[in-house]
Structure 1
Amino acid sequence: MKLRYAGTCRMCSQPLPAKTEAMYESETKTVLCLKCADETGLVIPQDLEPPVAEEPASIASGVAGSSARREYERRKAKDEERLREKWGRLGGLAVALSDERQSTKAWERGAVGEERLGARLDSLVGDGIAVLHDRRIPGSKANIDHIAITRAGIWVIDAKRYQGRPELKIEGGFLRPRVEKLLVGRRDCTKLVDGVLKQVEVLRDVMPDVPLTGALCFVEADWPLIGGFFATRGVHVLSPRRLAKRLEQEQTGEIDVPAVLEVVASRFKPA
């Protein structure tokens, strides 16, 4: 096969640049140059018909908001169980008359936001754009809402369904350290930026040579009719419409979208 990435022959240590024809050993995930492969008897003789290559299996993009939706259903069931235990025979009536706890309802709001943004991103998928939803971060209970791969790089996207207008507040300056705060209405959401930056670094460990961009996408926020989008500490803060436009503009670049998609999907499984 032609190598997608540069490697080194495991026998003679010869460097093998990307697109070099070599033998890939899937069990050990190592490569052999053709000379060493021939010496070990792994090369198919010229007079034999090579096997027909199978089409690669399609990569499932995942279901946007699925883990948040499951958590909402789990919490809702637990809340109802508490009410039934507390009220006994009147438990069913208590469940019907009680409002959902805010901490439980927040999970449903989050799930809806991810689902709506996921549908918007799915509409962009084509030759130059691939999307993954709700991917688990290895070794952690956390997940990444959306990953978009374009010819120009990878976007790590966190979806939030908050009310209010997102804005950037800058404090300090000449005599004091400059501090940037993300506000949504009167709510300080600066920690959301820290979360996206951590997710970007997780992707960077896997794809160090691919440009990475972090984004906070606020669904149903009070965005102005014109503008209102900004970046803080390298993280873009924008609406679903603006995000879609940015991704559509990333049609030029040297990124092999299917190859990067395969690597990212294999490392970040559906949550």
Structure 2
Amino acid sequence: MRLRYSGVCRQCGTSIAAGTEAIYERETRTVRCLACATEPEQALYSGPEPTRDGLLSPAAGTAGSSARREYERRKTKDQDRLREKWGRFGALAVGLSNERPSTQSWAQGAIGEERLGAGLDAVSSDSLAILHDRRIPGSKANIDHIAVTPGGVWVVDAKRYKGRPELEIEGGFLRPRVEKLLVGRRDSTKLVDGVLKQVDVVRKHAGDVPVNGVLCFIEADWPLVGGAFTTRGVHVLWPKRLTKVLVAQASGDVDVARMRELLASRFRPA
């Protein structure tokens, strides 16, 4: 289709002007340029690419790629199980069956990462470098997004949860202070623990550069005024607030290009 508004290709990061023919992906509300649409996404990382200062740097990666691959793997496995169970009626069983919630959750997670990734790519610049879907060395786990600014490194975990994120504080003068993250009144404090573990891993490679943790909730029930908060050093906010925070980190001593290259080489695309 011809785009009514300008956008950024979610695969290669190229700016696409309004009126240009491109692929609009309705489910994720993202776009792909025609050049990327003719190439398999697995071929995204083809080795180092030159940067403006002549250094070689790996590609930024594709937001949500590992989550989407896991969704497709689980979906295929579920369908194969149905075909085996129902024999010649297998195709009908597949068509009439709903996806298991545990399988669908991977698709929902991928969509959230893709949407946030597109927003981050839209504000990337020489002073704001973005890496998507990076594998933690020696682990099957991954980091959704890493942002590098002159002020430091930001480790971003994207979550597509319903409900309002809130901070609940228990204890005080007579009892130890305990901070809990609630989402829709559900105790989701384990999400903070997960981000802190990712921050610790990145900090080992970033040296003395400040490393910050972020939980970014997509489609959550945020209030009209306020809403963002910090718990145990982890920033809890929404996509537009995150991009404003990152863009504001324009001053500092971090060499963005070199730090991006360092982290990209330590944390390869998942």
| Band the TM-score falls in, shorter-chain normalisation | 0.7 to 0.9
1:116 matched to 2:115:
yes
Counterpart for residue 103 of structure 1 = 102
CA distance in 2, matches of 1:127, 1:139: 30
TM-score computed with the length of structure 2 as normaliser? 0.79
What is residue 177 of structure 1 aligned with on the other side?
176
Shift in Å at residue 245 of structure 1? 0.5
Matched, 1:188 2:205: no
Q: Trace 1:55-204 onto structure 2 (pairs within 5 A).
A: 55-204=54-203
Structure 2 counterpart of 1:108, one-letter code: A
Give 2:117's aligned amino acid. Answer: G
2:6 aligned partner? none
Q: Which residue of 2 aligns with 1:246?
A: 245
Highest relative contact order (Cα 8 Å, sep 6+), 1 or 2? 2
Matched, 1:212 2:211: yes
Secondary structure of 1:168's match?
A: strand
Structure 2 gap ranges (5+):
1-52
Provide the residue aligned with 1:29 in structure 2. Answer: none
Distance (Å, rounded) in 1 between the aligned partners of 2:106 and 2:220: 17
Please tell me the residue identity of whatever aligns with 1:165.
R
1:90 aligned counterpart, secondary structure: helix
Residue 207 (structure 1) shift: 1.2
The one-letter amino acid of 2:250's match is Q
Pairwise CA distance, 1:58: 4.5
Q: Report the residue type matching 1:76 in the other structure.
A: K
Q: Where does structure 1 lack aligned partners over 5 or more consecutive residues?
A: 1-53
Q: What does residue 37 of structure 1 align with?
A: none
What TM-score does the superposition give when structure 1 sets the normalisation length?
0.79
Give the equivalent residue in structure 1 for 2:25: none
Aligned residues: CA RMSD: 1.0
Residue identity opposite 2:126 in structure 1: D
| Shift >4 Å, 4+ stretches | none
Measured after TM superposition, the shift of residue 226 of structure 1 is: 1.3
Contact 2:167 2:179 in 1 (8 A): yes
Q: CA deviation at 1:131?
A: 0.3
Aligned residue for 2:236, secondary structure, equals strand
AA matched with 2:173 = F
Structure with bigger gyration radius: 1
Partners of 1:187 and 1:108 lie apart in 2 by: 22
**2-structure distance, mates of 1:82, 1:253:** 55
Secondary structure of 2:123's match? Answer: coil
Please say if residues 57 and 264 of structure 2, whose CA atoms lie closer than 8 Å, have aligned partners that are also in contact.
no
Aligned residues between the structures = 218
Identity fraction in percent? 69
